[in-house]
Amino acid sequence: MAKEDYYDLLGISRDASGDELKKAYRKLAVKYHPDKNQGDKEAEEMFKKISEAYDVLKDPDKRAAYDRYGHSAFEGGMGGMGGAQVDPFDIFREVFGGSGSIFDELFGGASSRGGSRASSGSDLRYDLEISLEEAAKGVEKEIRYRRLVVCPDCGGSGASPGSSVMTCPDCGGSGYVTSQRGFMTFRQVCPRCGGSGKTIEKPCPTCGGEGRTMETNRLKLRIPAGVDTGSRLRSQGKGEAGVHGGPPGDLYVIIHVEEHDVFERSGDSLFCEIPIKFTVATLGGTIDVPTLFGKGSLKIPAGTQSGTVFRMRGQGMPNLRSQARGDQLIRVVIEVPKKLSGDQREKLKDFAEACGDESNPVAESFFEKAKRFFE
Ligand SMILES: [Zn+2]
Ligand SMILES: [Zn+2]
């Protein structure tokens, strides 16, 4: 079977630049990587072929030889360019960095340089409940949570104090071992050392060789005014310690604002319902109203109907970003007295008589509309 042309394999022209070559290889390498095509022999074969093609064309001398002599430049020692037997994973690693596993490339996994598999610590989540008053004014809270920290006894190396860290005998320090599957050579992270390339003579008794231990961490948090349920505060580096010197993760504090018995919140607005006497509604007056920032007062104009909503500007929740305060909306509900003294009843009767058939404006328009029901 004739070998396919290297340029055709990579889908580039014969005068493609180094950048174009690399780009073409990257695209195809991701497409045919065995990690993504488990058990697919054809993809495996393609992965091998494009790796070989790229390996030859990226080298100016080899490319020149290939351009002049074709595949025969690399056969049977002719041309003295050496065999084209390359490890496709070596090439993949060289181009993409990482461990040669596609998952490192696609999912941003452990960054791996020189065999040391440092990886960042996990992020942590903490759910914090606060009151509406605290959300309105901002608050400082101390929280306690468990997290993995760098082991204080071994400094994260995992080795018992006084003992040494040795080169892993299974992988010779590279962090990878190879295994043969069919005609493909697979590279995988060394199971003995987990890719670090090092093993521990005597594991640290505190952390069992893991390099991290559990600790209860106390943290003072400044909760800004205006937070709402679902607000997420990030404390950089307060998550779990990294592995083998990797950076620590972050702590995310998720805010939950408790329900309030007087106020209902919607964004930066606060709502509340206040009962008022029917005399105040009729004659007008001033009432005391609760606000999150203390006692306030509200003028009720004469002739206020039940259900009227009044707006108190700037008495709502502060905006988390601008800190400008929203409004408080007050819905008044007119309360009808249930018990009347004899004197009160008499006076009210006199009042009713004085009113006669004279009606109220709301009732008038209502009875006008509902007229046909009474005919
Ligand atoms: Zn330790
Ligand atoms: Zn190893």
- DSSP of 99-161: TS-HHHHHHT----BTTB--BPPPPEEEEEEE-HHHHHH-EEEEEEEEEEEE-TTTTTS-BPT
Residue 169 belongs to a domain: no
Which residues constitute the domain of residue 279? 264-374
CATH of residue 51: 1.10.287.110
CA–centroid distance, 263 to ligand 2, in Å, is 62
- Give the 3-state secondary structure of residue 325: strand
- Which of 76, 107, 138 lies at the terminal end of a domain, its last residue? 107
Both 290 and 346 in one domain: the answer is yes
Q: What is the pLDDT of residue 100?
A: 53
Residue 176 belongs to a domain: no
Residue 160 belongs to a domain: no
Report the domain count for the chain: 3
CA distance 131 to 350: 50
- DSSP H or E stretch at residue 180: strand 176-181
What confidence category does residue 68 fall into, taking pLDDT thresholds of 50, 70 and 90? confident
* Higher per-residue pLDDT: 307 or 76: 307
HSE toward the beta carbon, residue 228, CA cutoff 13 A: 12
Both 125 and 226 in one domain: the answer is yes
CA–centroid distance, 209 to ligand 2, in Å, is 15
Q: What is the pLDDT of residue 354?
A: 87
Both 367 and 237 in one domain: the answer is no
Could you read off the pLDDT of 71-89 as tens digits, one per residue? 887 765 444 444 446 778 8
Residue 180 belongs to a domain: no
CA–centroid distance, 200 to ligand 2, in Å, is 11
Residue 317 tokens read as 């929740």
Q: What is the pLDDT of residue 226?
A: 96
Residue 53 tokens read as 């093609």
Both 139 and 251 in one domain: the answer is yes
Residue 188 belongs to a domain: no
CA–centroid distance, 233 to ligand 2, in Å, is 39
* Model confidence, pTM: 0.57
pLDDT over threshold 70, residue 359: no
Could you read off the pLDDT of 113-124 as tens digits, one per residue? 333 457 888 999
Q: Closest by alpha carbon to 6, among 53, 55, 59, 65? A: 53
Closest ligand to residue 197's CA: 2
Both 315 and 329 in one domain: the answer is yes
Both 229 and 269 in one domain: the answer is no
CA–centroid distance, 302 to ligand 1, in Å, is 77
Q: Specify the amino acid at residue 211.
A: G
What average pLDDT does this structure show over 151-158?
86
pLDDT over threshold 70, residue 166: yes
Query: What does DSSP say about strands 176-181 and 184-189: parallel, antiparallel, or unpaired?
Result: antiparallel
CA–centroid distance, 167 to ligand 2, in Å, is 8
Closest ligand to residue 116's CA: 2
Q: What is the DSSP code (8-state) at residue 196?
A: S
Residue 317 belongs to a domain: yes
Both 245 and 362 in one domain: the answer is no
Q: What is the pLDDT of residue 215?
A: 92
Yes or no: say if 157 and 211 are a contact pair by the CB < 8 Å rule.
yes
CA–centroid distance, 169 to ligand 2, in Å, is 6
Q: Give, in degrees to the nearest 5, the angle at Cα 153 between 195 and 213.
A: 65
For residue 159, report the phi and psi dihedrals to the nearest 5 degrees: -95, 140
CATH of residue 229: 2.60.260.20
Q: Give, in degrees to the nearest 5, the angle at Cα 177 between 171 and 182.
A: 150
Closest ligand to residue 172's CA: 2
Both 23 and 132 in one domain: the answer is no
CA–centroid distance, 215 to ligand 1, in Å, is 13
CA–centroid distance, 218 to ligand 1, in Å, is 21
CA–centroid distance, 333 to ligand 2, in Å, is 76
Highest mean pLDDT among 59-68, 97-106, 195-204: 59-68
CA–centroid distance, 165 to ligand 2, in Å, is 12
CA distance 62 to 82: 10
CA–centroid distance, 41 to ligand 2, in Å, is 29
Residue 360 belongs to a domain: yes
CA distance 88 to 318: 59
139 alpha carbon, distance to own chain's centre:
24
pLDDT over threshold 50, residue 18: yes
CA–centroid distance, 14 to ligand 1, in Å, is 57
pLDDT over threshold 90, residue 234: yes
Closest ligand to residue 148's CA: 1
For residue 221, report the phi and psi dihedrals to the nearest 5 degrees: -120, 135
CA–centroid distance, 40 to ligand 2, in Å, is 28
Total H helices, total E strands in the chain:
10, 15
CA–centroid distance, 38 to ligand 2, in Å, is 25
Q: What is the DSSP string of 39-71?
A: T-HHHHHHHHHHHHHHHHHTSHHHHHHHHHHGG
Both 234 and 314 in one domain: the answer is no
Both 55 and 80 in one domain: the answer is yes
What average pLDDT does this structure show over 331-335?
95
- Give the 3-state secondary structure of residue 295: strand
What average pLDDT does this structure show over 244-267?
92
CA distance 225 to 139: 7
Q: What is the pLDDT of residue 76?
A: 55
pLDDT over threshold 60, residue 26: yes
Closest ligand to residue 161's CA: 1
Q: How many residues does the chain have?
A: 375
CA–centroid distance, 159 to ligand 1, in Å, is 6
CA–centroid distance, 163 to ligand 2, in Å, is 18
Both 133 and 237 in one domain: the answer is yes
What average pLDDT does this structure show over 247-267?
94
* Higher per-residue pLDDT: 211 or 226: 226
Near ion ligand 2, which residues have CB within 5 Å? 168, 170-171, 190, 192-193
Residue 348 tokens read as 């009210």
pLDDT over threshold 80, residue 180: no
Average pLDDT of every residue of the chain: 85
Both 255 and 302 in one domain: the answer is no
Closest ligand to residue 204's CA: 1
CA–centroid distance, 151 to ligand 1, in Å, is 5
CA–centroid distance, 291 to ligand 2, in Å, is 66
Closest ligand to residue 173's CA: 2
Residue 181 belongs to a domain: no
- Which of 217, 235, 259 lies at the terminal end of a domain, its last residue? 259
